[in-house]
Amino acid sequence: MKKSFVFTVLSLASAMVAAGQSKDLAAAAQNPLASMISLPFQNNTTFGNRDGDVSNTLNIQPVLPFELGDDWNLITRTIIPVVSAPDPFGGGNVNGISDTSFTGWFSPKEPVNHITWGVGPTVNIPTGNKDFGFDQWGAGISAVGVYIKDKWVAGGLASNTWGFEDTGDLNLFYSQVFVNYNMENGWYVVSAPIFTADWNADSSDRWVVPIGGGIGKIMRWGKQPVNLNAQIYYNIEKPEDYGDYTFRLQLQFMFPKS
């Protein structure tokens, strides 16, 4: 009887600790300013491009945080896009790596009223091949804000990048709004559309504006914590040759401090 009672108490305590850890991991996974090393792989497949073609972009997005004294962090995120897109001259898709984007946010360690913010530079690195990218360096400014309370993680980020060369080819806006509601056993629902604008394009072909969302789960593969989610978006505003729907599948490996 006593052994059974002790076992029950220990099991409940273990479940409470696991639930707390899952909640903390979910908040960290969904917070771009979390002081945690992570490696997300975000795959975006867009359907209904010109002539019904399909395009695919796999974003490899390592996140590395650095402590700057007692009060500040520098959170760095690098996005390396691996692209497969319809050939503008016909004959299937062309494949390659597009330009790499690097962003560094200077962020206070402690939130105020459940809000954390960050601001810093963003850099365009011309890693694209002849089919992708702008073939020039660029830089700009980025800002992010995050609200975390109870089961909610919400916020947004925005940046604009200008090219160093006087061709005027590179002038891009990037923004993401995200809302996460965390449930039991690591499950959550999410909406995290990515809005982009090419300021040099005609007004009718300038914006990509999606709406949608999906579901995800924080879990462990052995001892490795991972974040897996699937989302679908409908593009209510888009260039003429861009697709109507985008399916996003993301796998994020997390390396929390022990």
pLDDT at position 21, please? 60
Are 188 and 218 a contacting pair, CB within 8 Å? Answer: yes
Give the model confidence (pLDDT) of 176-200 as tens digits: 999 999 999 999 999 999 999 999 9
Name the pTM for this structure.
0.88
Measure the CA–CA gap between 101 and 60, rounded to whole angstroms.
Answer: 11
pLDDT of residue 111: 95
Residues of the chain above pLDDT 90, percent: 75
Give helix then strand counts, H and E, for the chain: 1, 15
Report d(CA 23, CA 29) in Å as an integer: 10
Specify the CATH superfamily of domain 2-255: monomeric porin ompg (2.40.160.40)
Instruction: State yes or no: pLDDT of 175 exceeds 80.
Output: yes
Closest to 33 in 3D by CA, of 154, 144, 148: 144
pLDDT score of 16: 34
- DSSP-derived secondary structure letter, 213: E
* d(C-alpha 201, C-alpha 236), whole Å: 18
pLDDT tens figures, 45-90: 999 887 668 999 999 999 999 999 999 999 999 999 999 987 766 6
d(CA 236, CA 55): 18
Statement: residue 247 has pLDDT above 90: yes
Residue 39: CB partners within 8 Å, gap ≥ 6?
60, 61, 62, 63, 252, 253, 255
Per-domain boundaries in the chain:
2-255
For residues 180-216, one letter each, b for 16 or more C-beta atoms within 10 angstroms of the residue's C-beta and e for the rest, the string is bebeeebebebbbbbbebbeeeeeeebbbbbebbbeb
End-to-end CA distance of the chain: 36
Q: Are 148 and 121 in contact (CB under 8 A)?
A: no
- Cβ-based burial of 240 (10 A; exposed 0-12, middle 13-18, buried ≥19): exposed
Question: From residue 2, how far is each of 6, 11, 190, 223 by CA, in Å?
Answer: 6, 14, 44, 32
Alpha-carbon 93 to chain mean position: 25
* Mean pLDDT, rounded, of the chain: 89
